[in-house]
């Protein structure tokens, strides 16, 4: 068995709390994000070796999106952990097939690439069950659906699982990894670390010197690569976006309600958006987002949200639908579109101090607002126009805020006194 003192000596103090959570079975999922040199991968590799040697029924599967990267990354990292913990004589390491075997019991660490889904899905162990799963470079995977599918295949036959996700947060706010953090389960621990949390003797003076140099000459690169911050790509349209929970108490206190509808049916969804505007910030806390929704069903769904006196500003390209809404008792009005109204509506939204979206109540609004970026030409230069795709909730928000926006060419004026 590994001496606890040796274990502690080889784990950065920044990870002591995570280690204790694992030891006490406090969470199932451990989301470890951090910049270069934060030792998050070193910590995970040590925990897996220690955990297998401590729990005789535990096995592990280590996954990267592309299998060819396994040997020079996670395999080498776990080999380092075995050597660092002084248990090299207790393990058998194989490269074909790629696996590590704890000689005393036959427990295994298996290595898989998600680019071979059939092989990954059919992963089995002869003794015990797969307790530990490690996704290295999480942002390389396709999205949460792929992760869920893999977990459902591997997390069987045991009572306790520890799933590790390690990555440096991508620069773009629109990356699925960054967005997904708003929707994680309460059974997940999020831990952030940087090289600044690590003893300097571990990473070396040269590493620190290079980091400090990048900090001086390219501060944005430093913040992303070394501090693990989401700095943005420079193409984000709504830099004032803030995705967070909006509490029931907040919603009950809202009194300046804004409502908008962007009609759709087959290809494009019908969108109803509801928010509160305090004169400086827009809070979006309710949405209906659905394709194939008839007007009668849409009307019923809106009425289920409660009676409100505030107008619903709708896409004026659908006068028949607006009339149906009005006949059903909803205060629907057509948006007054004018020259460059799309551009000015978006600029108005950009001018707000904050656009706050509840990601759980309004997942589609959170996705579309955070994904909305300017396109780029062949040379990589930004295109000076707003993209007309995946913007259905943005259109609904523009309509909802129409009465707060004064359309004067080249000038945006906030009119917070309207519709109080």
Show the CA angle centred on residue 101, arms to residues 146 and 109, nearest 5°. Answer: 15
Domain parsing of the chain, residue ranges: 4-216, 241-414
Q: Which of 47, 136, 137, 236 is catalytic?
A: 137
Contact present, 173 and 370 (Cβ < 8 Å): yes
d(CA 180, CA 230): 13
Per-residue model confidence (pLDDT) at position 382: 57
> Cα–Cα distances in Å, from 357 out to 200, 348, 416?
40, 17, 19
Per-residue model confidence (pLDDT) at position 406: 58
Per-residue model confidence (pLDDT) at position 401: 95
Q: Can you name the CATH fold of 4-216?
A: Rossmann fold (3.40.50)
Show the CA angle centred on residue 392, arms to residues 390 and 398, nearest 5°. Answer: 125
Q: What pTM was computed for the model?
A: 0.68
pLDDT digits (tens, 9 = 90+) for 96-121: 999 999 999 999 999 999 988 888 88
Per-residue model confidence (pLDDT) at position 343: 86
CATH number of 241-414: 3.30.420.280
Known active-site residue 137: yes
pLDDT digits (tens, 9 = 90+) for 267-276: 999 999 999 9
Per-residue model confidence (pLDDT) at position 388: 75
- Those residues of the chain that have pLDDT short of 50 are 407-420
């Amino acid at each position: 068995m590994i001496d606890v003192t040796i274990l502690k000596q080889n784990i950065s103090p920044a990870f002591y709390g995570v280690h204790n959570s694992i030891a006490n079975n406090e969470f199932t999922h451990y989301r470890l994000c951090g910049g270069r040199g934060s030792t998050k991968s070193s910590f995970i590799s040590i925990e897996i070796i220690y955990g297998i040697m401590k729990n005789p029924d535990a096995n592990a599967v280590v996954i990267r999106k592309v299998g060819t990267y396994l040997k020079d990354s996670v395999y080498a990292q776990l080999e380092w952990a075995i050597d660092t913990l002084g248990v090299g004589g207790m393990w058998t390491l194989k490269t074909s097939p790629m696996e590590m075997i704890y000689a005393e019991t036959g427990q295994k660490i298996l290595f898989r690439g998600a680019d071979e889904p059939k092989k990954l899905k059919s992963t089995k162990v002869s003794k015990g069950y797969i307790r530990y799963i490690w996704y290295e470079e999480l942002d390389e995977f396709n999205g949460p659906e792929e992760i869920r599918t893999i977990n459902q295949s591997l997390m069987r036959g045991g009572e306790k699982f520890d799933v590790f996700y390690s990555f440096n947060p991508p620069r773009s706010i629109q990356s699925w990894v960054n967005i997904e953090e708003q929707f994680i389960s309460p059974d997940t621990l999020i831990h952030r670390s940087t090289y600044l949390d690590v003893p300097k003797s571990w990473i070396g003076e040269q590493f620190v010197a290079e980091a400090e140099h990048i900090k001086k000459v390219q501060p944005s690169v430093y913040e992303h690569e070394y501090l693990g911050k989401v700095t943005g790509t420079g193409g984000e349209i709504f830099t004032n976006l803030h995705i967070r929970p909006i509490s029931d108490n907040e919603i009950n206190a809202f009194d300046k309600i804004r409502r908008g509808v962007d009609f759709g049916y087959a290809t494009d969804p019908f969108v109803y958006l509801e928010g509160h505007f305090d004169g400086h910030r827009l809070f979006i806390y309710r949405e209906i987002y659905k394709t194939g929704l008839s007007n009668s069903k849409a009307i019923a769904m809106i009425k289920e949200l409660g009676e409100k006196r505030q107008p619903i500003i709708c896409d004026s390209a659908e006068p028949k639908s607006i009339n149906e809404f009005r006949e059903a008792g909803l205060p629907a009005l057509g948006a007054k579109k004018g020259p460059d109204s799309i551009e000015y509506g978006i600029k108005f939204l950009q001018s707000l101090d904050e656009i706050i979206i509840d990601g759980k109540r309004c997942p589609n609004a959170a996705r579309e607002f955070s994904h909305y970026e300017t396109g780029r030409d062949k040379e990589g230069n930004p295109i000076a126009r707003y993209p007309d795709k995946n913007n259905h909730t943005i259109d609904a928000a523009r309509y909802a805020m129409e009465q707060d926006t004064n359309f004067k060419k080249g000038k945006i004026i906030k009119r917070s006194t309207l519709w109080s």
